[in-house]
């Protein structure tokens, strides 16, 4: 079970062990879901409507976007920005799960609350994600820039991107979109841990014959879909803000916009693109959320069990 469990046999996980399992889970999951992430980002950054019926923009559907990227940019395009994305996943997974395990243990030792209740997991999951987000935000910005650029590439490699952005836009550019990210990530991650806790226990009670790995995969996938749907507009706003100052490389994809902060971005999307504008890219995002969240929890518990087995032997 994810989180500190006072009834579990053996000693509690150390922060280092939780960080190791979290980073390994993030690394494996990222390699699997990168194509969906690239398509999602392309949809989020498109000003024109993403619709089969009204084909104004470059992309108007999931399969069309897949064929278009594959034809124009080749198969490696689906792993654009994979190095910063992989660094992001490893760093994020390590900080998030180490923080979550530490926070749930703190709740158990310092309060009267049960550390395995859904409410505690919601609070600790949200706080753990905020700490991971603040730590890893520069990597997320770099990942978005790489995934958003077309051909010819504006950034040759990670070192070139860091140097160019720092010189032309200053150090704070790496934290663009931090406000909507923190606003969104607390409920998003909190709801992930909340629903995962509930669904995992529910499946265990209903189907005691199946192995825990399947329960983790199904529970994580469902939790990811629900939490992503409820918090998606904040993710889209974050992506729009992160590519500010990057307009030249976006010209070939259609219209571009420059937003002056969080409120301006919210107002202009609503005025120019309507309510549906806040949910552009939702389809690949939900598919990605189901796969990534399911695999993250699955691999985390897998690596935790492996670490526990090695310790006991």
User: For residue 41, which of 307, 200, 300, 236 has the smallest C-alpha distance?
Assistant: 236
Q: Is 184 exposed, middle or buried (0-12, 13-18, 19+ CB in 10 A)?
A: buried
The end-to-end CA distance of the chain, in Å, is 20
Residues of the chain with pLDDT > 70, as a percent, come to 92
User: For residue 44, which of 305, 276, 211 has the smallest C-alpha distance?
Assistant: 276
201-257 pLDDT, tens digit per residue, is 998 887 665 566 889 999 999 999 999 998 889 888 888 887 776 666 555 666 777
38-87 pLDDT, tens digit per residue, is 888 888 778 777 777 777 778 888 889 899 999 998 998 888 877 777 88
- Dig out the tokens for 308 from the structure: 């526990």
278-292 pLDDT, tens digit per residue, is 998 888 889 889 999
Per the listing, tokens 């310092």 go with 110
Vertex 254, ends 252 and 255: CA angle to 5°? 125
16-26 pLDDT, tens digit per residue, is 999 999 999 99
Where does the pLDDT of residue 94 fall: very low under 50, low under 70, confident under 90, or very high at 90 and above? very high
Please tell me what DSSP assigns to residue 115: T
Where does the pLDDT of residue 293 fall: very low under 50, low under 70, confident under 90, or very high at 90 and above? very high
């Amino acid at each position: 079970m994810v989180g500190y469990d006072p009834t579990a046999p053996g000693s509690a996980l150390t922060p280092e062990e939780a960080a190791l399992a979290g980073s390994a889970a993030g690394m494996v999951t990222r390699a699997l879901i990168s194509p969906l992430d690239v398509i999602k980002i392309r949809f989020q950054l498109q000003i024109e409507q993403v619709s089969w019926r009204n084909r104004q923009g470059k992309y108007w559907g999931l399969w069309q976007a897949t064929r278009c990227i594959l034809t124009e940019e080749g198969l490696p395009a689906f792993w654009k920005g994979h190095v910063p994305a992989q660094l992001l996943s490893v760093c994020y997974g390590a900080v998030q799960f180490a923080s979550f395990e530490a926070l749930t243990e703190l709740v158990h030792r310092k309060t009267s609350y049960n550390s395995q209740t859904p409410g505690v997991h919601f609070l600790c999951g949200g706080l753990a994600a905020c700490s991971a987000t603040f730590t890893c935000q520069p990597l997320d910005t770099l990942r978005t820039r790489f995934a958003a650029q077309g051909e010819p590439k504006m950034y040759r490699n990670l070192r070139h991107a860091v140097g160019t952005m720092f010189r032309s836009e200053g150090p704070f550019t790496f934290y663009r979109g931090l406000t909507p990210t923190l606003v969104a990530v607390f409920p998003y991650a909190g709801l992930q841990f909340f629903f995962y806790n509930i669904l995992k226990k529910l499946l265990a009670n209903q189907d005691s014959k199946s192995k825990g790995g399947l329960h983790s995969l199904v529970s994580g996938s469902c939790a990811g879909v629900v939490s992503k749907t409820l918090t998606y507009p904040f993710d889209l706003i974050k992506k729009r803000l992160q590519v500010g100052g990057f307009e030249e490389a976006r010209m070939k994809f259609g219209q571009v916009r420059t937003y002056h902060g969080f409120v301006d971005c919210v107002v202009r999307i609503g005025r120019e693109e309507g309510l549906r504008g806040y949910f552009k890219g939702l389809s690949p995002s939900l598919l990605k959320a189901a796969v990534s969240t399911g695999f993250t929890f699955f691999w985390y518990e897998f690596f935790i069990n492996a670490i526990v087995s090695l310790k006991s032997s």
